[in-house]
Structure 1
Amino acid sequence: MHEKCGVVGISLQDRDAARPLYYSLYALQHRGQEAAGIVTHDGFQQHSHVETGLVGDVFDEGDLGRLNGANGIGHVRYPTSGALDKSCAQPFSVSFKSGSLGLSHNGNLVNADEVRDELAALGHAFTSDGDTEVIAHDLARNLLEEDLVRAVRRTMGRIHGSYSLTIMHDDTVLGVRDPKGNRPLVIGELEDGYVLASESAAIDTLDGETIRDVEPGELVVLHPDGTGYDTYQLVDSDSTAHCFFEHVYFARPDSNIDGTLVYDARRELGRRLYEETGIDTDVVMPVPDSGRAFASGYAEAAQDAGADVNFAEGLMKNRYVGRTFIMPTQDERERAVRLKLNPIKTTVEGKRVTLIDDSIVRGTTSTQLVELMRDAGAEEVHVRIGAPPIVAPCYMGIDMATREELIAADKSVEEIREEIKADSLSYLSIDAIAATLETERDDLCLGCVTGEYPYDIDGEATDREVERPVIQSSLADD
């Protein structure tokens, strides 16, 4: 799996926003490594710098110096919709009759083609194949006829799918979260302004204080002078569809997502993993880095239950090797595992090992890891996974393998165990996920582990009656 994207928006009182935006994007780099960008406004005109590459490569001191203005938005991107080139890098900027517009998007629309065709028939010309430009064009059209809040409300009624947006209309920064809250978005306070970001870790980086999560269907408008913000509940929904994989894998462990610290959630998931499928071994070790908190909770639960087991770091990570799933061919992915991870033989040799990871996608990495353990002298290798089996693709902003590539799509747990050559294999249950997050199953997006989706997607099942947005009557058209 590839991460989604990261968005940020900042309004300050008396200093340029470019550098705080830059630091925020660094804090969100894990959510996207293919492109980065910042758009600011100085009260008179918009300034933009958007390029492909990592944050540290995209910006230099001169770039930040040219991004004038106390208000701005930023984005780090991994492409889940649209081509991998500068035309789809964000924030997406456009100037039109009613001013300038910048837009950063985390998520994926399920009706982007429909809306694009409608807008093209009205004369809109598109420069990319991404869904972010679709949102920008629809919003720009509405801004010709409505005030800012009503224009956003109308666009939210037209687009369907997952999205957290930071938007800048002239020098006004705003944040929007989709009606089911699929993508995260939080608001925080700085000493001299306010910030919207995909994760609270970005606010921490700026020495700010997280105020709360933006509610599903809510619009937050930051005051251009950095002195406050206004909120509008534009769309109501009877249920949410929070992405549980934010807690399992995507978000930073030090971020709070929907009221829960990710690190604490992962440790509790690890504890429940032991309670459901614990096995007696000599050592429990994580697959770095995302398996670490799971393994810690698993080992602690085992020790609390009286098991004589040690928690150990048995795999050392080479941090200068690219991520294995970026490798374009299967052979390169297999080779990259050995380049990236090296076992500590004294921890493994002669031991019964429980190896904890967050997920199994294709099965390639898991097979290689089990082989590494055996080559290092492990007597037994038992694999435990801190999430249910991934059986279906994601349409909500995660660039996941196709159904044909997903090992769990057509194999049982026992068949997967045989393929990765583990002595045993167990996954965490969906009920354990819901209990840990203190959320009803119907309020989570579980499409990738059930094949049933909370949105109306052509050719796929839904796990509930699909709702269309309910617009608040207080903002209804005259």
Structure 2
Amino acid sequence: MTEKCGVVGVSLADRAAARPLYYSLYALQHRGQESAGIVTHDGFQQHSRVEMGLVGDVFDEGDLDSLNGSAGIGHVRYPTAGGVNNCCAQPFAVSFKSGSLGLAHNGNLVNADELRDELEGMGHAFTSEGDTEVIAHDLARNLLEEDLVRAVKRTMGRIHGSYALTVMHDDVVLGVRDPEGNRPLCIGEVEDGYVLASESAAIDTLDGDLVRDVKPGELVVLEKGGTGFDTYQLVERDHTAHCFFEHVYFARPDSVIDDTLVYEARRDLGRALWEESGVETDVVMPVPDSGRAFASGYAEAANEDATTDDDLVEFAEGLMKNRYVGRTFIMPTQDERERAVRLKLNPIRSTVEGKSVTLIDDSIVRGTTSTQLVDLLKDAGAEAVHMRIGAPPIVAPCYMGIDMASREELIAAGGETEDVREAIGADSLSYLSIDAVADALSSTRDDLCLGCVTGEYPYDIDGEPSDRDVTRPDVGTEAAPADD
């Protein structure tokens, strides 16, 4: 899997927005490493810097000094729709009759092609393959006829899928979260203004305070000069579709998403993993770094159930991470992924030699990394390696903004757990149940997006079953205007 994207928006009193946006994007770098961009507005004109590369490579001191204005939005991207090139980097910025528009998008539309065809038939010219430009064109068209709130509501009635948006219309910054709340978005307060961000860790970086999550279907408009914000509940649904994988893997452990601290959620998932499938071993160890919180909760629960000192399990680091190697699942070919695992992780022999080991990870996708790790530990002298996974088996692709493998590449698709265990060479393998995930997140299955582990989606996707009654909008039908 590869990350989704990260978005941020700020409106400040007198201070330039560029550096707070820059620091926020650094805090969100884990959500996308292909491109980074900032668009600001000084009250007269828009300023933009959007390029391929990491945040630290895209911006230098001169770039930040040239991004004038106390309002702005930013984006880090990993592509899930559109190509890997400059034309698909964000924020997407455009000037039109009613002013300037900048838009940063985290998520994925499932009716983007239909909307694009309709807009092209009306004379709109597109410069990219991404769905973000589709949203921008539709919103710009609506802004020619409606005020800001009504224009946003009209666009929300036409786009279908997952999205968390930070938008700038001239020097007004706003945030929008899709009606199912699939992608995260939160509001923060800093000393001289307000912030919108994908994760609260970005707000922490600015020494700000988390105010709350943006509600599903809500529009948040930051007041000019950072004096406050207005909210409009534009769309309501009976159920949400929060992406459970934000808590399992994607979000930073120190972020709070939908009122839940990600680190504690992962520890709770680890505790549930012990309760469902605990196995007696000598040592419990995480796959760094994503398995650490799971393993901590798992080991703690195991030791709470111990009746004697001899039953206590050791929690230890058995794999040393080389932090100068990129993430293995971003490597484009299978050979590179296999080599990168060896470069990235090395066993600590004294921790595993002659011992039975429980290895905790967040997920298994293709199985490449798990196979390599089991081999590494057994080569280092482990007597047995038991794999425990803090999520259910991934059996289907994601259409909501995670660049996940196809069904043909997913090792758990179409097979049984025993087949996966045999393929990766582990002595035993257990996943966490869907119900345990829902309980750990203080949610219900009906309020989570579980498409990748059930094959049924909370959105009406062509060729895929839906887990709820979803009516896909006719792109040619105008949405009702916002209430007065």
- State the distance in 1 between where 2:414 and 2:339 align: 25
Please name the residue that 2:335 is paired with.
331
How do 1:51-70 residues align onto structure 2 when only pairs under 5 Å count? 51-70=51-70
- Alignment pair present for 1:255 and 2:259: no
Instruction: Kindly provide the CA deviation profile for residues 138-174 of structure 1, in whole angstroms up to 9, marking residues without a partner as x.
Output: 0000000000000000000000000000000000000
Please name the residue that 1:226 is paired with.
226
Kept in 2, the 8 Å contact 1:82–1:130? The answer is: yes
Kept in 2, the 8 Å contact 1:17–1:40? The answer is: yes
- Alignment pair present for 1:367 and 2:374: no
Question: Identity of counterpart residues, as a percentage?
Answer: 81
- State the distance in 2 between where 1:181 and 1:32 align: 20
Instruction: Kindly provide the CA deviation profile for residues 233-255 of structure 1, in whole angstroms up to 9, marking residues without a partner as x.
Output: 00011110000000000000000
- Measure how far apart 1:224 and its partner are: 1.4
How do 1:27-66 residues align onto structure 2 when only pairs under 5 Å count? 27-66=27-66
- State the distance in 2 between where 1:325 and 1:438 align: 30
How do 1:11-26 residues align onto structure 2 when only pairs under 5 Å count? 11-26=11-26
- State the distance in 2 between where 1:472 and 1:460 align: 25
Kept in 1, the 8 Å contact 2:10–2:194? The answer is: yes
SS of residue paired to 2:50: strand
How do 1:410-425 residues align onto structure 2 when only pairs under 5 Å count? 410-425=414-429
How do 1:192-207 residues align onto structure 2 when only pairs under 5 Å count? 192-207=192-207
Please name the residue that 2:482 is paired with.
475
- State the distance in 2 between where 1:34 and 1:27 align: 15
Please name the residue that 1:112 is paired with.
112
1:113 partner letter = D
Instruction: Kindly provide the CA deviation profile for residues 382-401 of structure 1, in whole angstroms up to 9, marking residues without a partner as x.
Output: 00000000000000000000
Please name the residue that 2:395 is paired with.
391
Runs of at least 4 residues of structure 1 off by over 6 A? Answer: 471-474
1:348 partner letter = V
- State the distance in 2 between where 1:154 and 1:473 align: 7
Kept in 2, the 8 Å contact 1:381–1:422? The answer is: yes
- State the distance in 1 between where 2:233 and 2:472 align: 15
Please name the residue that 1:438 is paired with.
442
Kept in 2, the 8 Å contact 1:270–1:386? The answer is: yes
Q: Normalising by structure 1, what TM-score?
A: 0.98
Kept in 1, the 8 Å contact 2:157–2:479? The answer is: no
Please name the residue that 2:97 is paired with.
97
Kept in 2, the 8 Å contact 1:236–1:472? The answer is: no
Kept in 1, the 8 Å contact 2:247–2:266? The answer is: yes
- State the distance in 1 between where 2:414 and 2:318 align: 31
- Alignment pair present for 1:345 and 2:345: no
- Measure how far apart 1:473 and its partner are: 7.7
Please name the residue that 1:287 is paired with.
287
- Alignment pair present for 1:312 and 2:316: yes
Instruction: Kindly provide the CA deviation profile for residues 286-305 of structure 1, in whole angstroms up to 9, marking residues without a partner as x.
Output: 00001000000000000000
Instruction: Kindly provide the CA deviation profile for residues 96-127 of structure 1, in whole angstroms up to 9, marking residues without a partner as x.
Output: 00000000000000000000000000000000
Please name the residue that 2:147 is paired with.
147
> Which of these residues, 378, 386, 395, is aligned with residue 382 of structure 2?
378
How do 1:260-275 residues align onto structure 2 when only pairs under 5 Å count? 260-275=260-275
1:301 partner letter = A
Instruction: Kindly provide the CA deviation profile for residues 177-201 of structure 1, in whole angstroms up to 9, marking residues without a partner as x.
Output: 0000000000000000000000000
1:433 partner letter = V
1:185 partner letter = L
Instruction: Kindly provide the CA deviation profile for residues 14-39 of structure 1, in whole angstroms up to 9, marking residues without a partner as x.
Output: 11000000000000000000000000
1:34–1:142 Cα change, 3 Å: same
- State the distance in 1 between where 2:13 and 2:248 align: 37
- State the distance in 1 between where 2:367 and 2:271 align: 24
- Measure how far apart 1:475 and its partner are: 2.0
Kept in 2, the 8 Å contact 1:233–1:472? The answer is: no
- State the distance in 2 between where 1:462 and 1:144 align: 35
Please name the residue that 2:409 is paired with.
405
SS of residue paired to 2:226: coil
> Which of these residues, 445, 456, 461, is aligned with residue 457 of structure 1?
461
1:389 partner letter = P
Instruction: Kindly provide the CA deviation profile for residues 401-440 of structure 1, in whole angstroms up to 9, marking residues without a partner as x.
Output: 0111000112210000000000000000000000011111
1:177 partner letter = R
- State the distance in 2 between where 1:391 and 1:68 align: 47
- State the distance in 2 between where 1:152 and 1:79 align: 24
1:374 partner letter = K
Please name the residue that 2:156 is paired with.
156
Unaligned runs of 5+ in 1: none
Q: Normalising by structure 2, what TM-score?
A: 0.97
- State the distance in 2 between where 1:473 and 1:75 align: 30
SS of residue paired to 1:176: strand
1:176 partner letter = V
1:118 partner letter = E
Kept in 1, the 8 Å contact 2:240–2:447? The answer is: yes
Instruction: Kindly provide the CA deviation profile for residues 206-232 of structure 1, in whole angstroms up to 9, marking residues without a partner as x.
Output: 000000000000000001111010000
Kept in 2, the 8 Å contact 1:392–1:403? The answer is: yes
- State the distance in 2 between where 1:327 and 1:5 align: 18
1:472–1:186 Cα change, 3 Å: farther
- State the distance in 1 between where 2:65 and 2:305 align: 58
1:8 partner letter = V
Kept in 1, the 8 Å contact 2:240–2:446? The answer is: yes
- State the distance in 2 between where 1:221 and 1:143 align: 15
- State the distance in 2 between where 1:26 and 1:444 align: 28
- State the distance in 2 between where 1:473 and 1:33 align: 38
Kept in 1, the 8 Å contact 2:153–2:479? The answer is: no
**What is the CA RMSD across the aligned residues, in angstroms?**
1.3
- State the distance in 1 between where 2:481 and 2:83 align: 39
2:465 partner letter = A
Please name the residue that 1:167 is paired with.
167
How do 1:201-220 residues align onto structure 2 when only pairs under 5 Å count? 201-220=201-220
SS of residue paired to 1:7: strand
